[in-house]
Amino acid sequence: MARGVHELNSQAKNTPRTNKTPMEIEVYTQDNPPPKPVIYIANVAAHGNGYADNNVLLTTLKEETAKVGAELVFITNKEISRDEIVGTYGGGFMMSNQIKRPHLYGVAGVYSKVRIGITAGDDGIIKYIDAESPADKAGLREGMRLLSINGKYFNSTNLFQKEVSNKLPGDVVVIEYLDHDNNKTKINVELEPST
C-alpha cells in the first residue's frame, strides 16, 4: 500500500489542465525525457509501507499526477527510508527490525502548446538552439547570454518556462541578450506550435 501527495507550484493556476486517467499518464525519467516542451505544475510523491513495490508506487504516483490535471510525470528520485523499529518476541529472544519504507518522487506536467527552441543554463548561456526553431530564425546562437525575457531578468531556466510555456502560437516574447561581441541586443521572437 502507498499514500500519494502533491504540491502545486505557482504555474499551476495559469496552466490548462487535462482529464487523463492514471492509466493514460505518461511516465518519463532522466534516461527517457519527454519528447516536447513541458510545463511542470506540481511536485508529486508516493510513500509506501513496508510492503509496497515499484508497481504500487508508480500507480500511486500516476494517480496523484491525474489528480492535479497533468498528463505526464517525470520521475526525479527514488529512495528507501528506515523508519520505526518493530519488535517481535519469539523462542525466548527479543528481535527488532527497522521498517523499510520506499518513496518515489516526481514532477507532474502538461505539454506546452508552443516552442522557442532554446536550451540554456541557469547562468543564461545558450547551450543549444534547435534548427529552424523560432530562436534560430530570430538569430540567437549557442554561446550567447540571455539577459531578460519580456523585461524580466533571466535568473534561471524556470523563468523561460514561466514566460514562454503558457503562451499560444503566434505570441511574441521579447528577449534581451549579449551577443558574441558582448553587445546588448533586444529581439522579438514569435512562438510556433510545439510539434
How confident is the model at residue 98, as a pLDDT? 60
d(CA 120, CA 116): 12
Cα(117)–Cα(99) distance, integer angstroms: 47
Q: Give the pLDDT of residue 73.
A: 96
Residue 177 sits in the same domain as residue 106: no
Write out the residue range of the structural domain in which residue 125 sits. 114-193
Tens place of pLDDT for every residue, the chain, 195 residues?
778 888 888 767 777 788 999 999 999 998 898 887 788 889 999 988 877 788 999 999 999 999 999 999 999 998 887 765 545 555 555 555 566 788 899 999 998 888 888 888 888 899 999 899 999 999 999 999 999 999 999 887 777 777 887 788 999 999 999 999 999 999 999 999 887
Looking at the structure, tell me whether residues 156 and 123 fall in a common domain.
Answer: yes
The CATH number linked to 118 is 2.30.42.10
What are the helix and strand counts (H, E) for the chain? Answer: 3, 13
Residue 62 sits at the vertex; the CA angle it makes with 61 and 66, to the nearest 5 degrees, is: 120
- Shared-domain flag, residues 128 and 98: no
Query: Which pLDDT score is estimated for 34?
Result: 86
Number of domains present in the structure of the chain: 2
The reply to whether 130 and 61 lie within a common domain is: no
- Name 136's Cβ contacts closer than 8 Å, sequence gap at least 6: 117, 129, 130
Is residue 191 within 8 Å of residue 168, measured between CB atoms? Answer: yes
Predicted pLDDT of residue 93: 57
